[in-house]
Amino acid sequence: MRTALTELLGIRHPLVGFSRSPGVVAEVSRAGGLGVLAATAWGPDELDAQLTWIEQRCGGAPYGVDLLVPATSVEGMPDDLVASLRAQVPAEHLAFVADLLAAHGLSADRYRAGLGAADGTVGALAPTGVDGLLDVIVDHGVALVANALGPAPARLVERGHAAGAVVAGLVGSARHAVKQLDAGVDLLVAQGTEAGGHTGTIATTVLTPEVVAVAAGAPVLAAGGIASGAQMAAALVLGADGAWCGSVWLGSEEDISAASLKRKLLAAGSGDTVRSRARTGKHARQLRSAWHDAWEGSGAPEPLGMPLQLLLAKDAFALVDEAAADGDPGATALQSFFVGQVVGSLRELRPTAAIVEEMVAGCGFALRRAAALAGTDAAP
Ligand SMILES: Cc1cc2nc3c(=O)[nH]c(=O)nc-3n(C[C@H](O)[C@H](O)[C@H](O)COP(=O)(O)O)c2cc1C
């Protein structure tokens, strides 16, 4: 299959696999798509090691990296970032989380003691964190660099281009798409509200043609709600040059999520996600759990902004995940992660390569069916 995406990146399938799991990234690229690694959780040395590992597995196939750099937060951050953020967390919010954990049988004291420990995610929002990650990305010659939050900062675009990478931007509206193009990105990812992670309110079927209309010839990928070949074909029919998928890989054997979380994901239905500010401070789609029910309950404080809510939630979920691994029922009720509405289609763990193969074959089948319905198999 040939689209503007496959031509631009020299790949066989118009399918991008976004994941925090290096094994998924390597397998998607090996299978002919483009694996994209979420690089927010690591410092530069760790990222360097992960990219080296991916390259060894990929056999020279291109891959990408995704950063989380809010344009407004990268300048002027103090050196002691985490301590300064910690001081801004209101006592009311701290007490709310401590009580919520205690109500589920977890240690409020351990939570209070751990809050604000060194955190790669928060650290990446500091200037030194971002520059260090960019150095590694440039050194490794990655094929694509993406930025999730808002217009890509100028130096990410400049350094990505200088290194010969395609710079991509995720957008939730046509207005955001125009801003990303103005910031210099080469490729737009139209991410609909169905998607896991930070997401807007517009559905993928509505958003994709709107973004294509303002893209001025730049390739557009559709994201959100794509986990099957038919959904991938629908993205292409809507005018996209490919599909960008995140949730489907949570159902892969190479995904690094804890077994306790995977069990919850495999059991969930498509209505079991929630778009909530309760984990990061920005609206993100995630598996609904007792955590979200509590934050939506009467008397709950308003979630804080990013990154304060992220800081508040991070240590809580570290305790939750640790206890859920031992089968603790209270922790299991709270456990959650970012996932989109396609969670309902995840039923068993499969090898990443098999997921790619099945999606590509299913996409071809759906496109041939569409052509047959139109009474022709000739390209328009
Ligand atoms: C577990 C998970 C974590 C995510 N984290 C990020 C992130 O750090 N940066 C980003 O650009 N997108 C992130 N996303 C969004 C994906 O890049 C992608 O747009 C989305 O998953 C597509 O929709 P889908 O979940 O329906 O496949 C995340 C998605 C998931 C499922």
Quick one: average pLDDT of 227-253? 98
Contacts of 341 (CB under 8 A, 6+ apart): 194, 225, 270, 271, 273, 285
Buried b (16+ CB within 10 A) or exposed e, 50-78: bbeebbebbeebbbbbbbbbbbebbeebe
Least confident of 139-148, 203-212, 289-298, 324-333: 139-148
Quick one: average pLDDT of 212-230? 97
Comparison of pLDDT for 129 and 122, the residue scoring more: 129
Which of ligand 1's atoms lies nearest the C-alpha of 36? 17
Q: What's phi and psi for 81, nearest 5 deg?
A: -55, -50
Pocket test for ligand 1, best of 47, 338, 359 (most atoms within 8 A of CB): 338
Per-residue pLDDT at 115: 63
- State whether residue 239 is helix, strand or coil: coil
Residues 45-86: tens digit of each pLDDT: 999 999 999 999 998 999 999 987 655 443 445 556 767 777
Pocket test for ligand 1, best of 15, 16, 18 (most atoms within 8 A of CB): 18
Instruction: Tell me the pTM.
Output: 0.94
Which of ligand 1's atoms lies nearest the C-alpha of 192? 23
Polymer length in residues for the chain: 380
Q: Domain spans of the chain?
A: 4-74+125-255+350-373, 81-118+270-334
Per-residue pLDDT at 118: 45
Instruction: Provide the token pair at 285.
Output: 């789609």
Whether 222 shows a pLDDT value over 50: the answer reads yes
Quick one: average pLDDT of 238-253? 98
Residues 306-344: tens digit of each pLDDT: 889 998 998 899 999 999 999 999 999 999 999 999 999
Give the integer Cα–Cα distance in Å for 116 and 210: 41
Whether 379 shows a pLDDT value over 70: the answer reads no
- Eight-class DSSP state of 218: -
Give the integer Cα–Cα distance in Å for 169 and 177: 8
Question: How many beta carbons lie within 10 A of that of residue 299, not counting itself?
Answer: 6
Least confident of 40-54, 123-137, 228-242, 254-268: 123-137
In this prediction, what percent of the chain has a pLDDT beyond 70? 91
| H-type alpha helices, the chain | 4-9, 22-30, 44-58, 81-87, 91-103, 108-114, 120-123, 127-140, 154-162, 174-183, 204-214, 229-237, 259-267, 290-296, 308-325, 329-334, 352-373
pLDDT-derived band at 220 (thresholds 50, 70, 90) equals: very high
Per-residue pLDDT at 69: 66
- Ligand 1: residue whose CA is nearest its atom 9: 148
Question: How many beta carbons lie within 10 A of that of residue 3, not counting itself?
Answer: 16
Per-residue pLDDT at 76: 44
Backbone torsion region of residue 184, taken as left when φ is above 0, otherwise alpha when ψ lies between -120 and 50, otherwise beta: left
pLDDT-derived band at 214 (thresholds 50, 70, 90) equals: very high
DSSP of 14-44: SEEEEES-HHHHHHHHHTTSEEEEE-SS--H
Give distance in angstroms: CA of 259 to centre of ligand 1. 20
Per-residue pLDDT at 40: 76
Judge whether 122 and 81 are in contact, CB under 8 Å: yes
Q: What angle do CA 165, 166, 170 make, to 5 degrees?
A: 130
| Ligand 1 lining (C-beta closer than 6 Å) | 18, 38, 40, 66, 68, 146, 148, 170, 191, 194-197, 223-226, 244-248, 337-340, 342
- Ligand 1: residue whose CA is nearest its atom 1: 338
- The domain 4-74+125-255+350-373: what is its CATH number? 3.20.20.70
Residues 337-364: tens digit of each pLDDT: 999 999 999 999 999 999 999 999 999 9
Per-residue pLDDT at 86: 78
pLDDT-derived band at 155 (thresholds 50, 70, 90) equals: confident
CA distances from 33 to 12, 25, 345, 355 (A): 6, 9, 21, 11
Per-residue pLDDT at 210: 98
Whether 130 shows a pLDDT value over 80: the answer reads no
Per-residue pLDDT at 41: 72
CA-based Rg of the chain, rounded to a whole angstrom? 20
| DSSP bridge partners of 38 | 66
Per-residue pLDDT at 72: 47
Residue written as token pair 């778009």 = 275
- Eight-class DSSP state of 152: P
Q: Strands across the sheet with 284-287, in order?
A: 197-198, 284-287, 273-276
Tell me what the pLDDT averaged over the chain comes to.
91
Whether 117 shows a pLDDT value over 60: the answer reads no
Quick one: average pLDDT of 107-113? 87
Per-residue pLDDT at 377: 56
Least confident of 23-37, 39-53, 123-137, 291-305: 123-137
Instruction: Provide the token pair at 253.
Output: 């054997």
- Ligand 1: residue whose CA is nearest its atom 20: 246
- State whether residue 55 is helix, strand or coil: helix
Whether 122 shows a pLDDT value over 80: the answer reads no
